[in-house]
A and B are shown apart, each in its own frame.
Chain A
Amino acid sequence: MNVITLALKNIRGSSFRSLIIFLCVMGVAGFFLSTTLIIRGAEHSLDAGLERLGADIVVVPAGAESKIETALLMGKPTQIWMPKEKAAEVIGVPGVAQVSAQVYLNSLYDAPCCSVSEMFLVIFDPETDFTIRPWLEKELGGDLNLNDVIGGSYVFTPPGEKYIRLYGHHLTLRGNLQATGTGLDQTMFMTMETAQAMAMTSRTQAEQRLEIDPDLISAVMVQVLPETDAHKVTLQILLDVLGVTPIESPKLFGTYRDQMTGLLWGFLAVLGIGWGLSVALIGLVFSMAVNERRREVSVLRALGASRGFVLQSLLAEVGLLALGASALGISIGAVVIYLLRDFIATSMEIPFLFPSLASFMTLFIGGVALALATVTLAALIPALRASREEPALAMRE
């Protein structure tokens, strides 16, 4: 009989104790993965959102930083304005390669067109745009025509209809951008030409008129020259262009990143306490079990089993339990998080995008290895004690 067969027989022989250890490890491993997935998913979503923006610096009217973050992150429409001339001033700043102005609008409240109460509308300039255009050229092979729009992954044409009706105007959804988990998923992108046509229609067809001032813009997307320090360019824009705030791309969702870091530490603390308690519980349960099996272990020793064999069989027993329980716990946690990802994002008000398969596999392997190491560590002392005991003494007791 080899070590694994003996361990499996021992697990089957003491099913209640094994079940306790199994459930304990499964719960902790599942909780560990779920919390890590939520944090990782939020980070992944922020990174995907920044990648979608494609700008090194975003210039917004002074004081509108948090508004723009909320709009881009949660898709909550915002009305921020600055003179159109600011874009021309920004391009004059040394180190700036390209600028493109954007105008932010919102749909009417509870319009039947939209996936949310108020949809965030982004109007871009096809002549200068470098955020949507590369995608348009790659996916649609050209520009948007009049009345064509592009939507985030949540934007859809109502079932049974050919157009999206917005401010009484018919719009054709040409395609959907890949999900980012941020507010960009519920954002509609259109050209200024289409927006002006929509504003014109709204005068007669909509409950409320859409007003677009051609002299005002909401934000300026900036790309810096290659090998130029974006931070220095940001400072230069701050000095040279009055009434605006430049935000470096990596710092764009800074407030949310800070909140997430706080959340992460909180989760880690809870996780640490939970993990410590589980190790203590597993150690205790295993210690009691080994104590009950002293005679059994002594018989094994008397029959010729070495100390090493006894130690290995006891450790293999907890190892097998830890392996199965952590793999199951992590898998259940992952499936639940995957299925309820939208619900988590909505209820916790955080951006969330399920991490890539490679990233998930790393977490899975890491989680299983951690569970295996910790459970083995918890069972090591009672197993060592049992293997070192003199058979004759134990049998006499």
Chain B
Amino acid sequence: MKILGVAILLLALTIAILPQYSTCASDGKYLTLANGRTIPMKCSWTARAEIVVGAPLAAVGAMMVFSRRKESKRNLAVMGITLGALAILLPTKIIGVCAMPTNSCVTLLKPSMLGLGSVVIGASLIGLVVSQLSKEKQP
């Protein structure tokens, strides 16, 4: 469970940090409005939302390392699954990424969130099974 916790912590940091460097804005691409103003494309909002997912996920990972109670481990694993799913849904369904297939948000941000989110879900599922099988440690 400790190894899983550390793994989820590292994955959470990657989920929070990687998107910040793989948006259209980080490539210098912005939407230009009719009045000449430039605004970030929607992938920038996805990247920001991934911080909101990554931060509690990092906390879940850290708590998994120190958690001893069977029930806490189970609840943390469920939280991990939910946040992993959110990490995937943000660039695919909830906010999305830009339409241009060659932009880095499509080539890097979206697939990496799909991969990392899936690994988080997988690790949390393993955590859930392990927590159910393990005997509770006395504090």
Q: Which residues of A contact B (CB under 8 A)?
A: 115-116, 153-154, 156, 158-159, 186, 335-336, 339-340, 342-343, 346
Contacts and interface: CB of A to CB of B under 8 A. Distances in A.
Contacts of A335: 115
Task: Kindly name the residue among A154, A156, A343 whose own CB sees the greatest number of chain B CB atoms within 10 A.
Answer: A343
Given A336-B115, A339-B111, A342-B101, 12 more contacts: A115-B100, A116-B102, A153-B101, A154-B102, A158-B99, A186-B101, A335-B115, A339-B112, A340-B111, A343-B104, A343-B107, A346-B104
Nearest to A342: B107
Interface residues of B, number: 12
A336 B112 CA distance: 8
B12 to A, nearest CB: 19
11 contacts: A115-B100, A115-B102, A116-B102, A154-B101, A336-B115, A340-B107, A342-B106, A343-B104, A343-B107, A346-B102, A346-B107
Contacts, number: 36
A116 B106 CA distance: 13
A156 B114 CA distance: 23
B108 A340 contact: yes
A340 B107 CA distance: 6
Contacts of B114: 339
A365 to B, nearest CB: 24
Contact of B99 (A156, A339, A340): A156
Contacts of A342: 101-102, 106-107, 111
Contacts of B104: 343, 346
Contact of A343 (B99, B100, B111): B111
B98 to A, nearest CB: 10
A153 B106 CA distance: 14
Contacts of B112: 339-340
A151 to B, nearest CB: 11
A159 B102 CA distance: 16
A180 to B, nearest CB: 14
Contacts of B107: 340, 342-343, 346
Highest count of chain B CB atoms <10 Å: which of A153, A156, A346? A346
A173 to B, nearest CB: 13
Interface string B88-100: 0000000000011
Residue of A116, A153, A342, A346 with most chain B CB atoms under a 10 A cut-off: A342
B114 to A, nearest CB: 6
Interface in B50-105: 99-102, 104
A31 to B, nearest CB: 17
Contacts of A154: 101-102
Contacts of B100: 115-116
Q: Which 6 pairs show the lowest CB-CB distances between chains A and B? A: A339-B111, A342-B107, A343-B107, A154-B101, A343-B108, A339-B115
Contacts of B102: 115-116, 154, 186, 342, 346
A344 to B, nearest CB: 9
Contacts of B111: 339-340, 342-343
Nearest to A335: B115
A339 B114 CA distance: 8
Nearest to B109: A343
Contacts of A156: 99, 101
Contacts of A340: 107-108, 111-112
B99 A159 contact: yes
